[in-house]
Structure 1
Amino acid sequence: MDHRFKGLPPDADGLTVGELAAQRRDLFTGGFITPVLTLSAESLDHNVGLMEAYAEAHGLAFAPHGKTSMAPQLFARQIERGAWGITVAVPHQARVCRAFGVQRIFLANEVVDAAALRWLAAELDADPGFRCVLYVDSVRGVELMDAALRDAGARRAVDVVVELGAGEGARTGARTEADCAAVADAVAATGTLRLVGVAGYEAEVPQADGERVRAWLRRLTALAVEFDAAGRFAALADSDEIVVSAGGSSWFDAVAEVFGELPALSRPALKLLRSGAYVTHDDGHYLRLTPFNRLPEEGALQPAFTLWTQVVSRPSADQAFVNAGKRDAAYDLELPHPRLVRDARDGSVRDAAGITVTALSDQHAWLRTGPEVRLEVGDWVGLGLSHPCTSFDKWQLIPVVGADGTVSDYVRTYF
């Protein structure tokens, strides 16, 4: 413990993280400095358990997207609760996973960096139990991957899935089924790559709604059926699985529905869901868009983040400033939402009704307060955050706090 980790107690310098966790300090009286981002111990447990149950109930394998948190402790917790593996977006994130022993990685990107492919080939050759699946979406990309892997002397073929793009103007992915077939043919012509399935990301469907998302997902499953009928998975052993993968945090109910319609293939199907933001959920974007809003009978996710700040200026009856801004709070989709106030005089905690965040500066949040709001310099204000994907990357070590305020653990991030 030292100055690298913002928000944590200065008098903990020199302790290990484990030693500090063992002290079980109180968040409010244990020397923590505002602003400090916290994770709810109860909400983390609830969310991980809920998605474990959901995937199992719908016959889905689960590879949560690790780029949301880049926290190996959370990876381990998810794998312990049945996750097939971890999804990442770039080679650096895969290296972090491997450093912490993750044995199955789904890298949802076409990797054409020769140095990254050289590292991957070495990892695969050194560990027969390690599996990594990559996207491919272009013939040129396949050519570059093949050349790099041949130059690296790779002994194991790298598993790949053809990415079907979500439509014109969407992000990555081959745009048509014919394009996908051309990519698959290019893979078959190499000795360094092995086609194991198809994949994509439904949230990129233009003007996404339930009907459009399901239509695209049915294109994806139909592509898997077509590839299988054409013998494109012939290189797989009978016991190998054909990978069919999609699923962010906004439409996993549609993924479950359409993947449930997939007919029997020549080999078992690995129906792989990749939602990641669920683990902490949020107080904005996903709070409204989570499929559990459409599936109330299956449970509800809980926001796990609170960014605790302190009122440092109260220049007028309708305005206040707290000491957290763009450097501390996710703000790419929505501004933070005040949830709680801890009174500096007596330590009582109350609802933050009547307080809104109107803007963020680098190190300040601008608060607008109603005339009835009691708020003083020194009070702590707990902010809920929207879009967890840009919260974890601002904090390297995050206290895990119980409902009674006790800090029992710390989550380390590696962005």
Structure 2
Amino acid sequence: MDEDLLDWRTKGFWQPDPVRTADFLAGRPGLFDGAFTWPVLVARRAALEHNLRTLAGFCAAHGLAFAPHAKTHMAPSLLDAQRAAGAWGVTAATANQVLALRRLGAARVVVAGQLLDRGVLRWLAAEAGAGFEVLFQVDSAEGVRAASGLALPVLVELGHPGGRAGCRTLGELRAVAAAVAADPALRLAGVAGYEGGLPDAAAVTGFLDGLRAAVHALAADRLLGPEVIVATGGSAWFDLVAARLGGDAGGPWPPGHRVTTVLRSGAYLSHDEGFYRERTPFNRVEGELLPALTLWAQVLSTPEPGLAILGAGKRDVSYDEGLPVPRVVRSAAGGGRPGHGLGVTRVNDHHMFVADPRGVLRPGDLVGLGISHPCTAFDKWRAIPVLDDDGTVTDVLRTYF
């Protein structure tokens, strides 16, 4: 299969005859000129570039290294853009993502979790000899044993009650760290944690202060080298990460140790019009992120008053952290108008139910929908058109999930 071809395998593109991506783009197609069918997920170039600059600037201003979470998009061109904007590394969630990122040219990867497959860990050790740096997390004796004897850097993970991973107490973390340090090959590189599941700012602040306390405790135990990594941060609380862990913002680090705080936010790049719009730290601090993704779906039927059925569903758009939001309507005759009064009520595999109390939608109309939770939107599309402000398609994002 030729990944450069746009053809019958490329959802959203209407290409009965194969065409090379470069040839397709050379024709400067427009979204509504016949080159696409519905539904199709599109990205706005201006919003992506704005968001890229915004968080790169935030990290630089607060002394944070940035390793954006690649699980959000797994798109080579966006990874390249993040590297060009100064990213220190990139974050992965799974071994398969690490392999993909290695093949896509990543030089440094933070794995936000344990790796327990010995075959994977042996491969990482071999790749480390070729200059590939991977830091993965452990929170158990089993995690340490899985990597035992391999020359790999390890982060011990601090968690919290009810969280998805991590040592629940400082004592447990110190014991795991001691087991890492006792292994003749493993290297204790620092600590890690994830605060995104905590309910409020007070809980997040307490957890981040716990990460700082963990660094001090491991330094007192003489388990840390001179260079220390502290990796944390999703897309909902990076302002508090900056306030508590950026530089010496939350207090001094242990003397004799140079600490690099690594932020791992991922959803910022495309942002959204639901889950992260409500939770972004830029609701609390200066700055702004812009929603970059729109799903265009066609009205298939208006079978009863107040109800319209769109031809898009769970296979096309995220629905796990909020339903899509109708933003604009384009009639079959062309021209757009705001989607005021419209609301998505539920989705099936390939159908979307829209409340239309004023009866403004007709079969054949197109509805542009904002999405909620980009991490489960990108993975449904292997090719995503990128639009300039005038609607011209200027690029195609390829994703590798």
Q: What TM bracket, shorter-length normalisation?
A: over 0.9
Q: Does 1:26 align with 2:30?
A: yes
Q: What is the distance in 1 between the residues matched to 2:162 and 2:306?
A: 44
Q: Does 1:264 align with 2:269?
A: no
Residue 108 of structure 2: aligned partner: 104
**Counterpart selection for 2:8 from 3, 10, 29:** 3
Aligned-pair identity in percent equals: 46
Q: What is the distance in 1 between the residues matched to 2:176 and 2:332?
A: 62
Q: What is the distance in 2 between the residues matched to 1:218 and 1:364?
A: 46
Matches within 5 A, 1:291-330: 291-295=281-285, 298-330=286-318
**Counterpart selection for 1:358 from 345, 348, 362:** 345
Q: Does 1:368 align with 2:369?
A: no
Letter in 1 for 2:154: V
Q: What is the distance in 2 between the residues matched to 1:193 and 1:249?
A: 30
Residue 94 of structure 2: aligned partner: 90
Q: What is the distance in 2 between the residues matched to 1:232 and 1:30?
A: 62
Q: Does 1:159 align with 2:153?
A: yes
Q: What is the distance in 1 between the residues matched to 2:251 and 2:154?
A: 20
TM-score (norm 2): 0.95
Deviations 1:273-322 (A, max 9, x none): 00000010011000000000011xx2110111100000110112311111
Letter in 1 for 2:56: E
Residue 275 of structure 1: aligned partner: 265
Deviations 1:112-135 (A, max 9, x none): 10121122122112x13x211110
CA contact (8 A) 2:8 2:14 kept: no
Residue 279 of structure 2: aligned partner: 289
Deviations 1:149-182 (A, max 9, x none): x4xxx5xx211111001x2221100111110111
CA contact (8 A) 2:190 2:229 kept: yes
Letter in 2 for 1:212: A
Matches within 5 A, 1:7-406: 7-11=12-16, 13-125=17-129, 127-128=130-131, 130-146=132-148, 150=149, 154=150, 157-165=151-159, 167-205=160-198, 208-233=199-224, 236=225, 238=226, 241-259=227-245, 260-265=249-254, 266-295=256-285, 298-345=286-333, 347-371=334-358, 373-406=359-392
SS state of the match for residue 381, structure 1?
Answer: strand
Instruction: Give the drift of 1:214.
Output: 0.1
SS state of the match for residue 113, structure 2?
Answer: strand
The RMSD of aligned alpha carbons is 1.2
Instruction: Give the drift of 1:374.
Output: 2.2
TM-score (norm 1): 0.92
Q: What is the distance in 1 between the residues matched to 2:91 and 2:251?
A: 22
Structure 1: gaps spanning 5 or more residues:
none
Residue 3 of structure 2: aligned partner: none
Runs of 4+ in 1 over 6 A off after TM superposition: none
Residue 393 of structure 2: aligned partner: 407
Letter in 2 for 1:284: G
Instruction: Give the drift of 1:192.
Output: 2.5
Letter in 2 for 1:390: T
SS state of the match for residue 202, structure 1?
Answer: coil
SS state of the match for residue 204, structure 1?
Answer: coil
Instruction: Give the drift of 1:262.
Output: 4.0
SS state of the match for residue 385, structure 2?
Answer: strand
Q: What is the distance in 2 between the residues matched to 1:320 and 1:194?
A: 59
Deviations 1:248-280 (A, max 9, x none): 011111111001224133222111100000010
Deviations 1:367-393 (A, max 9, x none): 11122x422111110011100010011
SS state of the match for residue 230, structure 2?
Answer: strand
Q: What is the distance in 2 between the residues matched to 1:394 and 1:228?
A: 44
Provide the aligned length of Structure 1 versus Structure 2.
392
Q: What is the distance in 1 between the residues matched to 2:143 and 2:103?
A: 27
Letter in 2 for 1:122: A
Q: What is the distance in 2 between the residues matched to 1:307 and 1:331?
A: 12
SS state of the match for residue 327, structure 1?
Answer: coil
Structure 2: gaps spanning 5 or more residues:
1-5
Q: What is the distance in 2 between the residues matched to 1:131 and 1:31?
A: 42
Q: What is the distance in 1 between the residues matched to 2:182 and 2:201?
A: 38
Q: What is the distance in 1 between the residues matched to 2:22 and 2:35?
A: 17
Q: What is the distance in 2 between the residues matched to 1:80 and 1:26?
A: 28
